[in-house]
Amino acid sequence: MKTLQIGNLVIPIPIIQGGMGVGVSMSGLASAVANEGGVGVISAAGLGLVHKNSALDYLQANIEGLKKEIRLAKEKTKGVLGVNIMVAMSNFEEMVKTAVSEKIDIIFSGAGLPLDLPKFLTKDCKTKLVPIISSGRAAKLICDRWKSRYDYLPDAIVLEGPKAGGHLGFKRDQLDNAQFTLEVLLKDVKEAVAEFEIKYLKKIPIIAAGGLYTGSDIFKIMEQGADGVQMGTRFVTTTECDASDKFKQAYIDASEKDMEIIQSPVGLPGRAVFNEFIDKVKQGLKVPVKCPFHCIKTCDVTSSPYCIISALYNAYKGNMEKGYAFGGCNAYLATKITSVKETFKELLDDYK
């Protein structure tokens, strides 16, 4: 398996662990993945709940929580670390500035187009910027914008296809459309990025994501031209994953038919493991709530039957009656909890 280079960062194993909120991928999982030669990623979503502080409001607690998780991860590894910061977060700018000031290696940013991400880089800053997109059009738009405004091109691009877990950058009718498979999208994105690589003599690695679960999956998509992969779901059922055992068990107990597309309060379709909570939402048994956090810009409080951040936090803590687990289309393939080290070995053996 070839190494992955993002700017001056050399990643021995070209596997990025996907950022999963709320609390699913924090310093524990991220440092373990980094220690195996991949990129460990802390999700910035919901850290204000995980690191509650009575002296701070939710958004400020989010910032302090991100600082704490980055510092904890750095204590546990000398490997490459990243943070995932959603554009849709209401304090997106503050979270990006925090990650930069904490000298994180890479910022991954999706759930919206991070059109102005380079403006937060400071002088002598070594943080790499990697947008998460779902089309060649979006890749071209970001490259054009970043180059014209900031004389900067993405250090890499994550292409997330429709089989991913959590919030998806596709319409419902695109999820099973043959024109939107990861392989088709990869070709589209590579063509869009190639013109910038040629014109500016800069390599922009493309990292494929969404539905990748085995070493065989990695091999096939890298044969199609991906420079690396992002895997989130595969790392949930590890001992080092920061989520509760009940969260992990939801994957192990799931069957293929349990992988459900839901309509999230943030206005996007999402893929989750079906459970009683989701069933109650479908039946209309959940009633609209007031928004206690104002964490996501796109969340429609007036029509939402539940608070997304609270539901995901409940699941992270193991209270599955009041929440649910997001997961990629292959989450149901999990049969047991293993270590990150064992997971890497299995992936590499299967790839070979």
Domains of the chain: 4-243+336-351 (3.20.20.70), 245-331 (no CATH)
Q: Dihedrals φ, ψ of 348, to 5°? A: -70, -40
Q: Is the pTM for the entire model greater than 0.85?
A: yes
Tell me how far CA of residue 167 lies from CA of 88, 104, 112, in angstroms: 11, 24, 11
List CB contacts of 215: < 8 A, sequence separation 6 or more: 346, 347, 348, 349, 350, 351, 352
Q: pLDDT digits over 88-142, tens only?
A: 887 899 999 999 999 999 999 998 899 999 999 998 899 999 999 999 999 999 9
Question: What percentage of the chain reaches a pLDDT higher than 90?
Answer: 79
Kindly state the tokens that stand for 147: 């180059």
106-109 vs 128-133, strand pairing mode:
parallel
pLDDT of residue 139: 98
List CB contacts of 321: < 8 A, sequence separation 6 or more: 276, 277, 314
pLDDT of residue 298: 63
- Is 306 in contact with 281 (CB distance < 8 Å)? yes
Q: pLDDT digits over 55-64, tens only?
A: 788 889 999 9
pLDDT of residue 55: 79
Q: How confident is the model at residue 266 (pLDDT cuts 50, 70, 90)?
A: confident
Q: How far apart are CA 332 and CA 142, in angstroms?
A: 34
Q: How confident is the model at residue 290 (pLDDT cuts 50, 70, 90)?
A: low
Tokens 């380079």, residue?
118
3-class SS string, 133-163: ECCHHHHHHHHHHHHHHHCCCCCCEEEECCC
Identify which of 241, 240, 182 has the alpha carbon closest to the alpha carbon of residue 207: 182
Q: How confident is the model at residue 253 (pLDDT cuts 50, 70, 90)?
A: very high
Q: pLDDT digits over 179-195, tens only?
A: 899 999 999 999 999 99
Residue 286 reports pLDDT greater than 90:
no
Average pLDDT, whole number, for the chain? Answer: 93
- Position 53, amino acid: N
Sign of CA dihedral 25, 206, 158, 183: negative
Residue 294 reports pLDDT greater than 80:
no
List CB contacts of 276: < 8 A, sequence separation 6 or more: 320, 321
Average pLDDT value for residue range 190-216: 97
Q: How far apart are CA 152 and CA 116, in angstroms?
A: 11
Quote helix, strand, coil % in the chain, to nearest 5: 40, 15, 40
Q: How confident is the model at residue 172 (pLDDT cuts 50, 70, 90)?
A: confident
Question: What percentage of the chain reaches a pLDDT higher than 70?
Answer: 95
Residue 345 reports pLDDT greater than 70:
yes
pLDDT of residue 246: 97
Q: pLDDT digits over 42-77, tens only?
A: 999 989 889 988 878 888 999 999 999 999 999 999
Q: How confident is the model at residue 293 (pLDDT cuts 50, 70, 90)?
A: low
